Structure 1
């Protein structure tokens, strides 16, 4: 089975390549992410400007013109074909109680800027302290609970913008 890649350029041009086609490129690497490519007797000077490896997206300059490039491998294509998406994760705006318990500490207030992983509050449940953290970077829109309050499972604790 031949390995395939789908490349989307600037969100509207799509190309498909096999692994063999990629390996057959006439490409000479130079310093700092730059390369020289020959294709159909034409010369192209390329330079990698930005790379988001996990998201498989890149900004590449070709002959001084920037392009946004997204590369999908066979697994990405299969996931897309099944109607699923790894990259299009839902943005979480509501922090809800994962279980019933007692709020021991609230470490943020309305308007606070938080980074992914920052501590938001401490919930005691079943004699264990559970620290809830920010799922993403954002701003706290509102805090719906206070220290000493008991909460039910799935109760809204914090809203984020």
Structure 2
């Protein structure tokens, strides 16, 4: 059986294992919620992760260029960047796909040819990780830029208030006493 066909056959198990690996990076209570709540409006993070992993896996199974996964990666990584995950914690889910594949395909990988094909497949996952790192750094840069602008706006408003107070005091001190 060709490696891609084997992956397609075990797609559901791979996706389940990969999703579990992602939600395991959250605190236990959050992980339970992400796993059990199926309503996309009540659980937008869980829906985003599921849809993103699904799309990435489809692209890998269809043997498409990893760059096409940018949209799916961006959706997942943007959420994790907003949650202040460190780069390692935000992106580890990509590398966990290798472990999930090894676990799900364990019996099949006893066949040397399939094992060799998995080793040839692994660099595609590494390229996804590099792409994801670029996305993560761009997201963090955008967040920092937004935070700086907010700080500047707050500082500007404080200066306006301070100037207004100084002007009031200056006017009071200039008013002649009768």
The structure whose residues are more often helix, as a share, is 2
Higher RCO (C-alpha 8 Å, min separation 6): 2
Shorter-chain TM band: under 0.3
TM-score, normalised to structure 2, is: 0.22
What is the TM-score normalised by the length of structure 1? 0.24
